[in-house]
Amino acid sequence: MVVRRRPSRSHRFAESPVLQLALQGWRSRTVGLLLMAAFLLLVGRGFYLQVINNDFLQEKGDSRYLRDIEISASRGKVIDRHGDMLAVSTPMRSVWAIPADARAMSGEQKKLLADLVALKLRELDGKLASEKGFVFIKRQVPPQVADQVSQLKLPGIHQEREYRRFYPAGEMTAHLVGFTGVDDKGLEGVELAFQHALLGRAGARTVIRDRRGNIVEDVGATRPPQDGKDITLAIDSKVQYLAYSQLKAAVSEHKAKAGGVVVIDTRTGEILALANLPTYNPNNRDSLTGAQLRNRAVTDTFEPGSTLKPFTIALALDKGKVRYDSIVDCAPGRLSIGRATVSDAHPHGKLTVAQVIQKSSNVGSSKLALSMPPREMWEMFDGIGFGQVPQLGFPGEVSGRLRPWKNWKPIEQATMSYGHGISVSLVQLARAYSVFARDGDLVPLSLLKAEAPLLRGAPVFSPQTAREVRAMLEMVVSKEGTAPKAAVLGYRVGGKTGTAHKLEAGAYANKYVSSFVGIGPISEPRLVVAVMIDEPGSGRYYGGDIAAPVFAQVMGGALRTLGVLPDAPMVTADAGRRPGVM
C-alpha cells in the first residue's frame, strides 16, 4: 500500500520571523559607517607604525636579539714626575656563566673549570645553582688562563674583557698611590682622590646574541670608549725610595710602632716623598689590616713638642718683643705658672733667644709666649695652617686641634709654645716649616707636578725674621745643639727636634712621639724634611737620637739626587762657629 504524505510547509532558518529585526534605515547606515571608520582607523594605525614611525616595533623586535655590551675603558696611569710608573692597568678577563645553560656541564668539565680558575668545586657548584640569569665565576683572570677556559668550549660559560691595576712600586708608595677595587674604582690614596679623572668612560658595542648568550654578529660600535687621563704626581721615585728605606730601618732599629716621612720642595710646594709605616703591598691585599691602611702623615695627629718653638720665637721677633741676641733668663730650669710648673730637660741659666732654640728651653719659650697676647699666637698658628685641613685632596685629611684663643689659660699658652696642648699632622708640620725656607711666606702643597716655582705665597713672617730663625735652626745641628746627628756632610742644614708624651684617654702616658723637621741647604733652601717616629721602644726616645739621623740621611740623599750643589766643606760642622744670619 502506498502512503502519501501531505506536503508540509517548511521555513528556512534565515527566514525565521523570530530572527527578523526591523531596523530603521538611518540606524543601519550609522552602524555601517562606524564599522568602516574603525577599519580605516586600524589601517591608518598600522600604516603609521610600519611605515611612518616604525621605531616602536623595531625596538621591540631588536630587544629579542640585539644586546649592547660594554667596552671597558683603560684607567689612566699614575706616574711620578719623571714618568716612572706608579699605577698601571693590565688587561684581564672575567669568566661568567648563564647558570641555566652551565648546568649542562659534566662533572669532569666542572672540575677542569674549577681547577683553572682556582675555585673549589663546591664553590663553583654554588654559583651555578643560582637562579639568576648571570653570575661571575671569577674576576680578573689572567689572559693565558682565560684562553685555556675558552678552549674547553664549556656550555653557558662566557668571558668579558676587564682590567686589573698593578703597582710597580709596591709597598713603597702604597699610602700615596692607594689602590682600586675589583671594579676598577679607586678606594684609597690618589686612586680615590683623582677617581673622576682616572676612570675614563666605558664604550659600547651592539651585537646579536642567541638565547644562550653567544654572539652571532657584531653590528658595530655605538659609543667608543674614552680612556682615563694619566696623572703625573710631584713624587720623585728616587727620593720616595730613600725616605721609605730610611724610615723602615729606623722603625725596625728602635722597635717603633709606626713612623712617617714627608719631603717638600719649598720652591713649588710639591710633595716629593710621603712614606708611612706600617705599610702594605697593594698588589696583594689578602691579609690587609686597618693599621696598615692608615696614611698616618695625613690622617693621624700628634702633639709636635719642641718643633713648635721656632714659631713662638719667630712671632716674638716679628712683634719686636726680642732680638736675635736678646737675653732670656731660664734659671733655675723651672717656671711656675699658677699651680703648674714648666721645666727644662736640662736646667739652663741665661740664654740668648737663639740659644733658646739651640738648647730647646721650655722655660725660655714659655716666657716669650707669655709676653704676647693669646690672640696673636692663635693668629700665627692659624696663619701657618694649624687647625685647618691641608686641602691636598687625600681622603681622610684631618685639621688637627687648635683651640680658640679666648679659652686659653696662661699655662696652656705657655705649653702650646713648645708643642703641648695642640695637635698637628706631619704634613701640616712640614708645610709650616716652609715659611722659614721661603723667607716668611706660606704656599699650598701639591700632590701633582707643578709647572713652575711659586713666586709668592701668603705672608706669615717678615723675610728678616725667617732668615734669623733659619740661622737658629742651623745652630740646633751643631755639637752644642740638641741634634748634631742631623748634620749632613757637605750641606748646611738646620731644624728642630721634638719629643712629646702621647695622650691616651685624656692623660699623658709613658709613651713618646719623636720628631725632627728641618731645612736644607740653609744658604738657599730647597727642601723641608719632616720625620716622625711613633712610640720608639729601644730605650731612647729623644727626637735628636731617633728622628734626627733619619732626617740627615733623607735630606743628604735627596739634595744629591736633585743635583743641589753643596754649600759647606765636606767635613763635619764646626761646633764653635756661629752661623751667620741669612
What positions carry a catalytic annotation? 306
Between the CA of residue 570 and those of 108, 127, 565, 574, what are the distances in Å?
Answer: 73, 68, 12, 12
Q: Which three cell numbers stand for residue 451?
A: 709647572
| Residue 97, phi then psi, degrees to nearest 5 | -140, 150
- Any alpha helices (H) in 48-162, and if so which ranges? 55-62, 99-102, 107-116, 121-128, 143-151
Copy the grid coordinates of residue 220.
Answer: 658595530
DSSP-H helix ranges across 283-339: 290-293, 296-299, 309-318
CA distance 7 to 27: 40
List the grid coordinates of 343: 721645666
User: Residue by residue, what is the 3-state secondary structure of 378-440?
Assistant: HHHHHHCCCCCCCCCCCCCCCCCECCCHHHCCHHHHHHHHCCCCCEECHHHHHHHHHHHHCCC
Query: Which among 83, 87, 90 is positioned nearest to 232, based on CA atoms?
Result: 83
Burial (CB count within 10 angstroms: exposed 0-12, middle 13-18, buried 19+), residue 580: exposed
CA distance 545 to 558: 21
Between CA 446 and CA 452, with CA 448 as vertex, the angle to 5 degrees is 80
> What torsion, rounded to 10 degrees, do the Cα atoms 542, 543, 547, 551 define?
-140
Measured CA to CA, the distance from residue 78 to residue 178 in angstroms comes to: 11
Please choose, from the candidates 316, 578, 376, 582, the residue with its C-alpha nearest in 3D space to the C-alpha of residue 464.
582
Phi, psi of 297 (to 5 degrees): -65, -20
DSSP class of 49: I
- Rounded distance between C-alpha atoms, residue 309 and residue 315, angstroms: 10
Which amino acid type is present at position 55?
D
Instruction: Give the dihedral of Cα atoms 409, 414, 416, 421; nearest 10 deg.
Output: -50
Residues 54, 48: Cα–Cα separation, whole Å: 7
**Secondary-structure breakdown of the chain: helix, strand, coil percentages, each rounded to the nearest 5:** 35, 25, 40
Instruction: Count Cβ atoms below 10 Å from residue 10 Cβ, excluding itself.
Output: 5
